[in-house]
Structure 1
Amino acid sequence: MTKPTLDIQLKTLPTAPGVYQYYDVKDNLIYVGKAKNLKKRVSSYFTKTHDNGKTRVLVRKITNIKHIVVATETDALLLENNLIKKYQPRYNVLLKDDKSYPWICIKNERFPRVFSTRRVFKDGSEYFGPYTSMKTVSTLLDLIRGLYHLRTCNYHLSEENINKGKYKVCLEYHLGNCKGPCEGLESETEYHENIQAIKEILKGNFKDSLTLFKTQMKTYATNMAFEQAQKIKDKIEVLENYQAKSTIVNPKISNVDVFSIMSDEGYGYVNFLQLSYGAIIRSHTLEIKKKLDETDLELLELVITEIRQRFHSNSKEIYVPFKVDLGDDIKITVPKLGDKKHILDLSLRNAKYYRMERFKQIKITDPDRHVNRIMAQMKADLRLPEEPRHIECFDNSNIQGTHPVAACVVFKNGKPSKRDYRHFNIKTVVGPDDFASMEEVVYRRYKRLLDEERPLPQLIIIDGGKGQLSSAVKSLDSLNLRGKIAIIGIAKRLEELFYPDDPIPLYLDKKSETLRIIQQLRNEAHRFGIEHHRNKRSKTALNTELETIQGIGEKTVIDLLKHFKSSKRVANAKLDELEEIVGVSRAEKIYNYFHKK
C-alpha cells in the first residue's frame, strides 16, 4: 500500500481526542503529542508560523503521521506519557525524566496500608491509577480515611508480633482514626472487609460508599450537627463527579496483545495494541485486500501471526473479539465486560477511524475505486440485482394545499447530477393528493424517457411511505417497467425503507454510507421541490399584482418580466424605460400605479 502524502494525511485526520506521532524520512519516531482534536492540533503545525526555531526544524523533518484515537483528553495525556517514556523521541523533553503520574497503592501485607506513590513495584500489591492530579489522589485518600479506619504506621503486623505485644497504639488510635490492629484490637477479617470496600471505590463503584455517606449525613442532620453533615455532603459531591481511573491504563493487564477487525466488501482492517505493564506502548493498523470472500476469522488469524512476527511480540495472551486458533502456546481471551472489554473496544475504534481515513484518502487519490466500493456496498445493503449507478428520487411539495409540484433529483455514481434534475407541475390532480400526484409524475417521467429512448435508472427512491410507493408502482406497471427498475420508499421520520409487496421495512445502520446517500438524495429532492414551489408562489403573486393594474393584460406582464426580470425592477423603472417596452399609454398606467402606491 502506498503511503499517503502529508497533505492527504492532514485532510483525513479525525476530530477525536488522541495522541499523534511524527516520523522522519528514516521512519524514526521524532515527536509524540496529545490533542483534544487531532485534526485541528496536527494541522496547526503546518499552517502557523512558528517563532521557535526548534519547532520549525521539527516540521521540516516530518514525513509521516500516525495517531491513536482515545476516548477522553485524560486518556490522551496518559498515553502520551507512556509513549514518550517508552521511545524517548528526539523532540520530546518534558516527560523524559523519572517523574511519573501518581498511583494509589494497597500494600500487599497482613493489614494493608493505603497510600499514594509514583513508583510501581511488582510485589503483589495492588495499584490503582495513574491519576493526572495529585489533588485528586489526596481527595480520594481523605475520603477513604474519613470513611474507614486504616493504620498509617509501617509496623510489621504479623500474628506473632501482635501476640508478643511488640507494638503499642499511637495517637491515631486515640484520635479515632485507627482501631488498633497493632494490639489486636481489630480483627484481620474486619480490616479486610474495609479494604474490599476501598477497592470498589477505587474501581469507580461508589454505590455502597455513597449509601453509607448519605446515611451518615442524615444522622448528623437529625442530630443538628449541620457542620459535619455539610462536610459529608461535600464528599458525596466529589465522589459522584469523579471518575476513578483511566480506561487506557490498568496495571493488572500486562504483556498482552489486543487485536480487533472490521471489514467491507474488498478489504479488512486489523488494529493491534500492545500493552506492557498495563500501558499501551504501540498501536498499528493493517489493511488487507481480500482475494476471495474471506471471513473476518480467516483474516484475523492470518494477520495476528504476521503482526506478531513483524513487531517481535512474545506476549503469552491476546484479546480478540471472537475465538481464533493460534495453537496451544497462546492464551486466547474474548473479553465481555470490564477493563479488558474497554481495551478491545478502543482497538476496534482505532480500526474504524483508520478505515474512515482510508476512504477519505482514496476519494482524493483514487475516485474510481471509491465509487466502485460505494456502489458495491449499496447493491449489497439494498438487495439490488445490479449496482445503482443511476438513481432518481421523487418528492411532492404542496404547502398548505396550494400550487402542487413535484421534484425529481438524479444521482450518478453516488453524486448529484444537477443538469438532470426535473420539476413537475401537477396537471391531472385537483387539490392536495400526494398519492395521485406521485402516480402522475412517475408516469410522466418514465413515459418520456421511454419515448425518447433515454437510459432508465437502476433504482427509484420515493420520498414517502407505503402509500406513495404503491402509487409509483402503479405507474411502473402501466408502463411495463415493473421488475425492470428497482424501487423503494423511505419513510420521513424513522428511516424505514419499504419494498413493494413486503410489509416489513428494512432498517440500515445509521452510520452506513448507503443510508447517508439515500438521505442526501431525499434532502436534495426536498430542497429542489421547495425551491420550485416557492418560485411558483412568488411568480403567481407577482403576476397577480401586475395584472390588477387597469388596462394591463397577460401579454404586457410577460413582456415586462422578460425585460426587467422581476416586479421590483418594474416598480422602480423610470417612465421612459417603461415606454420603450410597452408604449406611452400603458407605461403611464404602470408608473402611476406604483408611484401612487
Structure 2
Amino acid sequence: MSESKHSEYLKSLVNLLPNQPGVYQYLNEEGVVIYVGKAKDLKKRVASYFTSRRFESKKLLVLVKKIRDIKHIVVPTESDALLLENNLIKKLQPRYNINLKDDKTYPWIAIKNEFFPRVFSTRRYVKDGTKYFGPYTSVTLLRILLDLIKQIYPLRTCNLLLDEVSISKGKYKPCLEYHIGNCKAPCVNYSLIDYYDSSIKEIIEILRGNLVEVVALLKESMLKASEEYRFEDAQSLKQKIELLQTYQSKSVIVSTSISNLDVFSLVFDSNVAFANFMRVNKGMIVQSHNFEIKLQIEEEQESILSFVIAEMYQRLGFISREVVVPFLPDQELPNATYTIPQRGDKLKLLELSEKNAKMFRLEKMKQLEKVDPERHTERILTTLKKDLYLDDLPVHIECFDNSNIQGTNPVAACVVFKNAKPSKKDYRHFNVKTVVGPDDFASMREIVFRRYKRLLDEGAGLPNLIVIDGGKGQLSAAVSSLKELNLLDKIPVVGLAKRMEEIYFPNDSVPLYLDKNSESLKVLMHIRDEAHRFGITFHRNKRSDSFIKSEIKSIPGIGEKTAMDLYSKFKTVKKMREATIEELSAVVGQRRAKIITDYFISTP
C-alpha cells in the first residue's frame, strides 16, 4: 500500500471511532500491537496523533510512522479505560508503552484460597483467588509480620488438601506442630472452620494496617472471656493484644489526626520515572513501595501517575478514599478523591514520599554504576546533553577558574573531564602574564585564548563543552576569546555562577536553573569545584614559593640566581637553616654558604 493510500486508510479508521471512553491499540505492518492508550474521547485522542503539531518527540514520530492499523475497545467509564489499559500493557508489552519493572524479585504475603487457609510468603503471584499483600521490599518486615501472625494465630503450615470429606473420614493425623501448640489440627477437626474464618479476617486487617480495629476486637473478646471466668482464654487474648501493640509502637507514626489515605509521588530522570506509594492508616505508615518506570515515548506526567495508581489499585484490590498526589492524574478512579496538599501534615507526607522516590532513584543509579559503568556514564552524558541543549554528547569537558588574592600571584586552572570523570593528566595550570591587578575578566580572556590557541596550533582535540566558573562577566570574557579564534560556533560554552548555581549561556541574560538533585547540575558543580580546588592549590604553592624566594633574597649578598638555586635544592627556609655548611657549599659555594649560615645564626 502506498504512503498516501495508507494515510487515507488510517484517517478513515479515525473517522469511525466513537466519541466515548475506551482503549485504542496501534498495530505495525506485522500486525503486532506496538502501543496501547486510554482516552476519555477515543476519536479526539487518536486523531491528535495525526493532526496535532504539539508532539516534538522523535520517538513519538517514529511510532506514528509505524502505525498500520488501529483497534479500539469502548468501555463504560474513564476508570474502566484506565484499568483495561493497564491490563493490556502487561499482557501485550507493546514496544512504545511505559515499561513498569515488575516486582517478581520482591516477596508477598499470601493467604491461600483453600479450606483452612495457609498464610505464607511467596515470590510467585498466581491469580487463583489467593489474596496477596505487598510486595515487601524489606524481607525483614515481612518476617516480622509472619512471626507476629504465627504467635497470635496458630494456623496450619502443611500443604494437605483438606476438605470436609477427607477430615470426616479421618484420613489425616495430627503432626508435631499440633503437639507443640503451633497448630490446632484442622486436619482432624472440621469444626474449627469458624475459628479459622475469624482469624483470617483479623489477619487481613493486620496486613492492611488496621491494627486499631483488631486490637479493639480482641479487647472486647478478652473482657467477655474474663466475665465468663475463662481466664486462660482471657490471658491468651491479652498476650495477642500486647504483641500487636508492640508491633504498632514500632510503626512510623506521621500524625494522629490523619485517617486512611494513600500517597503517590513521582521523580523524573531522563527516560526513567521513579514512583513511591505509601499507605497511611490511623496516622501510621503501614505500607510503602517503589516503582521504576521506563518511558518509551514522552508520556505526559499526568498519564504516568494514572498508570501507577491503577497498578496499585489492581495489586491491592482497593485504593483509599483519599489519595494525596503532587498533581492531578489524567484519569479518575471510582470512590477516590484526589488531594494536592499546600501545607500541614499531608504536605509533609507527600514530601516524605518524594524523598523515598529520590532515595530509590539514587539506589538504582548506584547499582547501575557498579553493574554497567559505561551505560551509567552514557546516561549521565545524555542527560547533560538534553539539559544544556547540546548537539553532541559532552564526552570531553573543560572548566576554567581564576585565583588571586588582591591581585598577587594571579593564576588560572583548567581541569578536564572525560566521560564525566576527571582526567587529571590533562589538567593545566596557567600563570597570568598580561594582566596587572585583580581583573578576573581580563585574566579569563587571556587564559581561554592561550589554551585554545595552543590546541589549534598543535592540532589537538577540542572539548565538547567549556564551563566557566563565574557569571555573565566571566562568560563574556571567555566568549570574546573564542570569537577571536573562530571557535564560538564550534564549542558550546556556559557559565556556572556560585550564588544560586545558575547557568548562563552566551548572549542570554536569563539563566537556566536546574533541579538541585539533577545529575547534570551535580556533574557541573563537581567540575567547577575541582577547577577551584586545583587553582587554589597552585596559587597557594606559588605564594609560598614567592615568600621563600623573597626571604632568601633579603640575605645580603644573595641575588636572584642564588635564591633560585637554593630554593630548587631545599624547598623551605627551615631546611636551609638545618643544612650544614658543607651542604650549602655544594650548592652556592663556600663563601656564600658562610654568608647564609651567619645570617641564620644572627636571625634565629
Residue 303 of structure 1 is matched in structure 2 by: 308
Residue 569 of structure 1 is matched in structure 2 by: 575
Structure 1 CA distance for aligned equivalents of residues 460 and 520 of structure 2: 26
1:298-337 alignment runs, 5 A limit: 298-313=303-318, 318-324=323-329, 329-337=334-342
Q: What are the Cα deviations for residues 306-359 of structure 1, in whole angstroms up to 9, with x where unaligned?
A: 333333436566444444455663534233456555544443332222112222
For residue 511 of structure 2, the aligned residue among 505, 516, 519 is 505
Structure 2 CA distance for aligned equivalents of residues 503 and 420 of structure 1: 32
1:329-408 alignment runs, 5 A limit: 329-337=334-342, 340-408=346-414
Q: What is the one-letter code of the residue matched to 2:380? A: I
Structure 2 CA distance for aligned equivalents of residues 29 and 431 of structure 1: 69
Structure 2 CA distance for aligned equivalents of residues 527 and 259 of structure 1: 41
Structure 2 CA distance for aligned equivalents of residues 275 and 544 of structure 1: 71
For residue 247 of structure 1, the aligned residue among 254, 276, 290 is 254
CA 1:498–1:278 in structure 2 vs 1: closer, same or farther (change >3 Å)?
Answer: closer
* Cα pair 1:22 1:31 within 8 Å, conserved: no
Q: What is the one-letter code of the residue matched to 2:353? A: S
Structure 2 CA distance for aligned equivalents of residues 436 and 284 of structure 1: 55
CA 1:544–1:247 in structure 2 vs 1: closer, same or farther (change >3 Å)?
Answer: same
CA 1:527–1:378 in structure 2 vs 1: closer, same or farther (change >3 Å)?
Answer: same
For residue 29 of structure 1, the aligned residue among 143, 158, 182 is 143
Gaps of 5+ in 2: 1-100, 107-135, 147-201, 218-247
For residue 494 of structure 2, the aligned residue among 488, 494, 501 is 488
Q: What is the one-letter code of the residue matched to 1:522? A: R
2:563 pairs with 1:557: yes
Structure 1 CA distance for aligned equivalents of residues 366 and 349 of structure 2: 26
* Cα pair 1:248 1:280 within 8 Å, conserved: no
1:14-53 alignment runs, 5 A limit: 22-23=138-139, 28-30=142-144
Cα distance, 1:442 vs. partner? 0.3
Structure 2 CA distance for aligned equivalents of residues 549 and 325 of structure 1: 82
* Cα pair 1:248 1:343 within 8 Å, conserved: no
Structure 2 CA distance for aligned equivalents of residues 30 and 264 of structure 1: 34
Cα distance, 1:417 vs. partner? 2.1
Structure 2 CA distance for aligned equivalents of residues 520 and 83 of structure 1: 51
Cα distance, 1:285 vs. partner? 0.8
Structure 2 CA distance for aligned equivalents of residues 325 and 3 of structure 1: 25
Structure 1 CA distance for aligned equivalents of residues 335 and 216 of structure 2: 35
1:404-419 alignment runs, 5 A limit: 404-419=410-425
Q: In percent, how many aligned pairs have the same letter? A: 49
Q: Secondary structure of 1:409's partner?
A: strand
Residue 269 of structure 1 is matched in structure 2 by: 274
CA 1:5–1:394 in structure 2 vs 1: closer, same or farther (change >3 Å)?
Answer: farther
RMSD after superposition: 4.0
Residue 206 of structure 2 is matched in structure 1 by: 86
Q: What is the one-letter code of the residue matched to 1:247? A: V
Q: What is the one-letter code of the residue matched to 1:458? A: N
Q: Secondary structure of 2:563's partner?
A: helix
CA 1:374–1:257 in structure 2 vs 1: closer, same or farther (change >3 Å)?
Answer: same
Cα distance, 1:277 vs. partner? 5.6
* Cα pair 1:261 1:268 within 8 Å, conserved: yes
Q: What is the one-letter code of the residue matched to 2:263? A: V
* Cα pair 2:472 2:504 within 8 Å, conserved: yes
For residue 298 of structure 2, the aligned residue among 285, 293, 296 is 293
CA 1:417–1:588 in structure 2 vs 1: closer, same or farther (change >3 Å)?
Answer: same
* Cα pair 1:498 1:506 within 8 Å, conserved: yes
Structure 2 CA distance for aligned equivalents of residues 266 and 540 of structure 1: 53
* Cα pair 2:290 2:357 within 8 Å, conserved: yes
Gaps of 5+ in 1: 7-19, 33-81, 90-94, 101-130, 133-244
Q: TM-score normalised to the size of structure 1?
A: 0.57
Q: What are the Cα deviations for residues 86-122 of structure 1, in whole angstroms up to 9, with x where unaligned?
A: 3599xxxxx9x9599xxxxxxxxxxxxxxxxxxxxxx
Q: Secondary structure of 2:299's partner?
A: coil
Residue 449 of structure 1 is matched in structure 2 by: 455
* Cα pair 1:317 1:332 within 8 Å, conserved: yes
CA 1:505–1:572 in structure 2 vs 1: closer, same or farther (change >3 Å)?
Answer: same
Q: How many residues align?
A: 387
* Cα pair 1:375 1:413 within 8 Å, conserved: yes
Q: Secondary structure of 2:510's partner?
A: strand
* Cα pair 1:473 1:482 within 8 Å, conserved: yes
CA 1:531–1:340 in structure 2 vs 1: closer, same or farther (change >3 Å)?
Answer: closer
CA 1:433–1:456 in structure 2 vs 1: closer, same or farther (change >3 Å)?
Answer: same
Structure 1 CA distance for aligned equivalents of residues 421 and 517 of structure 2: 18
Structure 1 CA distance for aligned equivalents of residues 315 and 280 of structure 2: 16
Q: Secondary structure of 1:360's partner?
A: helix
Structure 2 CA distance for aligned equivalents of residues 5 and 567 of structure 1: 66
Q: What is the one-letter code of the residue matched to 2:314? A: Q
Q: TM-score normalised to the size of structure 2?
A: 0.56
Residue 85 of structure 2 is matched in structure 1 by: none
Cα distance, 1:435 vs. partner? 1.8
Structure 1 CA distance for aligned equivalents of residues 203 and 409 of structure 2: 65
Q: What are the Cα deviations for residues 444-499 of structure 1, in whole angstroms up to 9, with x where unaligned?
A: 00111111222211221222222222111111011110111111223342333222
Structure 1 CA distance for aligned equivalents of residues 275 and 307 of structure 2: 10
Q: Secondary structure of 2:555's partner?
A: coil
Q: What is the one-letter code of the residue matched to 1:335? A: I
Cα distance, 1:21 vs. partner? 7.5
* Cα pair 2:553 2:563 within 8 Å, conserved: yes
1:57-136 alignment runs, 5 A limit: 86-87=206-207, 98=215
Q: Secondary structure of 2:286's partner?
A: strand
2:596 pairs with 1:590: yes
Q: What is the one-letter code of the residue matched to 2:254? A: T
Residue 473 of structure 1 is matched in structure 2 by: 479
Cα distance, 1:379 vs. partner? 1.9
* Cα pair 1:86 1:281 within 8 Å, conserved: no
Q: What is the one-letter code of the residue matched to 1:592? A: D
Cα distance, 1:561 vs. partner? 2.8
Structure 2 CA distance for aligned equivalents of residues 467 and 339 of structure 1: 45
Q: What is the one-letter code of the residue matched to 1:29? A: R
CA 1:2–1:448 in structure 2 vs 1: closer, same or farther (change >3 Å)?
Answer: farther
Q: What is the one-letter code of the residue matched to 1:86? A: I
Q: What is the one-letter code of the residue matched to 1:461? A: V
* Cα pair 1:547 1:553 within 8 Å, conserved: yes
Structure 2 CA distance for aligned equivalents of residues 346 and 83 of structure 1: 28
Q: What is the one-letter code of the residue matched to 2:265? A: S
Q: What is the one-letter code of the residue matched to 2:268? A: S
Residue 220 of structure 1 is matched in structure 2 by: none
Structure 1 CA distance for aligned equivalents of residues 602 and 282 of structure 2: 88
Residue 124 of structure 1 is matched in structure 2 by: none
